[in-house]
Structure 1
Amino acid sequence: MTRLQRAREAARERGVDALLVTPGPDLRYLIGAGGESHERLTCLVLPVDRDPVLVVPKLEHAGYGELPVATRTWIDGEDPHALVADLTGNAATVALADAMPAMHVLPLGQRLPAARQVLAAPILRELRMRKDETEIAELASVGAAIDRVHARVPEVLRAGRTEAEVGADIEALIVAEGHESAAFVIVGSGPNGASPHHEVSQRRIEHGDFVVVDIGGPNPAGYNSDSTRTYVVGEPAPERAEIYEVLRRAQQAAVDAVRPGATAESIDAAARSIIAEAGHGERFIHRTGHGIGLDVHEEPYIVEGNGLELAEGMAFSVEPGVYFAGEWGARIEDIVLVTADGVRPLNTQPHELVAV
């Protein structure tokens, strides 16, 4: 069964008569082309009782290439919202892509006054959470590529260089290893390592600094990497090395706990309990992980309170961290895949603290 067929069946099971999907990862998942969102409406109309159609501006039609769906084009001056409404038939309930711009949501509501509008996420996230063989191959490939980048970080990371200089070199390595682009490059040295979403700055890296390097981006197929390793410039202070070892054990325990039937929150607890037992629970200030695929952050979220049972094909990060505000921080992150009987890490760079 194709992704379009699975989406149609999932919509029918939820009492939805048609899915309306505008450009973004959901569209790319369904038809292999994501497009771009702007004032000219592009929208996949996927009714449960008829063939899907992509409504697309005529001036952009050629850019989509071959597609698994029929297309209907429109030109400036015509009403694409009325065209979408006509293609939905007599739909009583339509599910809209979560990221559909309001400039299209409102006109569609006016053209479909009798239809109830709901979000498409509950339908599509169930499909996108469980990766098929093609998606697994893409994630494995891009995961190996970002591993190769981390293997070369010691070549560019050294005292006296700024975070921005190191980050620029890492960004070039990411692209050189086959990524479409670098979606993010975090080089958090010294006190900046205590800010999980720090990017880069003009701070010069100093001897003794712990440096958090969190990097990733999409490959040409749109599937993302995301991996973090922590480095130290010179010899680490003994106390910090001990805390890092606690973090390493916590991350490994969480990876080891991954299996079908385990809950998302149990993976979070596996990491968090070890850090808390060592007296640093308040230093772990974020969830343990997030799903990954066509989005860097997607379902499932590995966090307390999420009782979702893991299933074969789910892919997500395992990334506990400890952060000492104004001083230093550390994080270890791998992408893992739930297999039929356990777990397959998609990042295999060593977890030990790397001295440069």
Structure 2
Amino acid sequence: MTETTPAGPAAFTTDDYVARMRRVAADAQDAGLDGLIVTPGPDLVWLTGYQPTAITERLTALVLSADRSPTLLVPRLERPDAEAAEGAGGLTLMDWADATDPYASARVLIDADGTYAVSDSAWAMHVLGLQDALPHSRYRSMTQVLPMLRAVKDDNELARLAAAGSAADATYEEIVHVQFAGRLETDVAADLARLLRERGHEQVDFTVVGSGPNGANPHHEAGARRIERGDMVVLDFGGLMFGYGSDTSRTVSVGEPTAEAREVHEIVRLAQQAGVDSVRPGVSCQEIDRAARKVITDAGYGEQFIHRTGHGIGVTTHEPPYMVEGEEQPLVPGMCFSVEPGIYLSGRFGVRIEDIVTVTSNGPRRFNDTDRQLRIVD
């Protein structure tokens, strides 16, 4: 039976968006910047609620600075959509017409010799166009200079992430009852996508189904391999629900697993638990990676754990901060990220277990809580 989408959390208000823009402008000033230039993408959606219906070659840019009101520059033909955005009440709107120079319009919003953070999603042609119009201006990557831009979630955002995680969990509990043996990876991936949508996801971003040797490729895309009895199968799936991400991984065995497969799965389970257990305010991001990696390294599989332990999640499924060696950013309550160690035995099989976790004053809270023991499927 198809389930209906659950009632959503409260809508973000103009006040919410104004508070975000004000806080980010102050953060930019504290970082020694003159402001931010935010182009279409997740940063713009998070700051204003505005997502152009189509991202084109026409310049759209939100300019934020501590000493002037937030201004959104849009193509004239897209102004009605911008005016309808949830956060439009906190913005000054400017438009530019086709056959005119958008960078000339932008010049009045940008200090001629200022330094600005620019969205990572900005088109190079737009950054170069601004540099041509303002040759003494300077631009830096948003992630590089303001990595905590969206990292700490408020209660409304946490509710959305929790709902997305619960929907992903419900999807897993259903997928373990479908037939695996004899079907293509793409068949199971289609089941995952369908189940995520039935449980409320408006967008499915990925459905990794890595069976047998394909499971040793962490980002394997489901393909035409026919799943066989005896395969270990890595399932990694997620998308957006209420505008916020889900991302979970479990590894199942099609029929009875080998003793080695059971052993490897248990090592990964213990590593994942160690990573989650290390989450608490004040601990650096790299310590989460170290805690999980130590379990796998001590078991003799360190060379087969070939990626970071985790990534942030919010309006995108991958965003800062990252749980990786060298990331010294301390954890603070409201941060949300994955904990997903894995072991990958080339040409044979892989195992990964992943939960989304948020930091609370008392330690970790998981947004995924399905069984982490090795499940046997048909």
TM interval, short-chain normalised: over 0.9
Give the distance between the partners of 2:39 and 2:33, measured in 1 at CA: 17
Deviation sequence 1:186-225 (CA, Å, 0-9, x none): 000111111111011111111111110000111242x111
Give the distance between the partners of 1:18 and 1:306, measured in 2 at CA: 25
Give the distance between the partners of 1:138 and 1:93, measured in 2 at CA: 34
Further displaced range: 90-99 or 105-114: 90-99
Tell me, yes or no, if structure 1 residue 3 matches structure 2 residue 20.
Answer: yes
Among 253, 256, 262, which residue is 1:241 paired with?
A: 262
Q: Please report the TM-score for the alignment, with normalisation by the length of structure 1.
A: 0.96
Further displaced range: 276-285 or 228-237: 276-285
Tell me, yes or no, if structure 1 residue 58 matches structure 2 residue 79.
Answer: no
Contact 2:168/2:247 (<8 A) preserved: yes
Among 23, 27, 37, which residue is 1:20 paired with?
A: 37
Match in the other structure for 2:225: 203
Tell me, yes or no, if structure 1 residue 229 matches structure 2 residue 246.
Answer: no
Q: Give the RMSD, CA atoms, in angstroms.
A: 1.5
Alpha-carbon distance, 1:119 to partner: 2.8
What SS is found at the alignment partner of 1:355?
Answer: strand
**Residue identity (%):** 48
Q: Please report the TM-score for the alignment, with normalisation by the length of structure 2.
A: 0.90
Give the distance between the partners of 1:305 and 1:93, measured in 2 at CA: 26
List runs of 5+ in structure 1 lacking aligned partners: none
Contact 1:130/1:314 (<8 A) preserved: yes
Deviation sequence 1:3-29 (CA, Å, 0-9, x none): 111011111112222211110111111
Alpha-carbon distance, 1:123 to partner: 4.8
Q: What does 1:145-164 correspond to in 2, within 5 Å?
A: 145-164=167-186
Match in the other structure for 2:302: 281
Match in the other structure for 2:328: 307
Alpha-carbon distance, 1:182 to partner: 1.2
How many residues align? The count is 355
Q: What does 1:76-225 correspond to in 2, within 5 Å?
A: 76-89=98-111, 92-221=114-243, 223-225=244-246
Equivalent AA in structure 2 for residue 355 of structure 1: I
Alpha-carbon distance, 1:231 to partner: 0.8
Match in the other structure for 1:336: 357
Alpha-carbon distance, 1:63 to partner: 2.2
What SS is found at the alignment partner of 1:129?
Answer: coil
Contact 2:118/2:141 (<8 A) preserved: yes
Equivalent AA in structure 1 for residue 180 of structure 2: R
Among 270, 273, 284, which residue is 2:291 paired with?
A: 270
Structure 1 ranges of 4+ moved more than 6 A: none
Alpha-carbon distance, 1:91 to partner: 5.5
Deviation sequence 1:291-348 (CA, Å, 0-9, x none): 1112221111111222221111111100011111111111000000011120100111
Alpha-carbon distance, 1:173 to partner: 1.1
Tell me, yes or no, if structure 1 residue 42 matches structure 2 residue 60.
Answer: yes
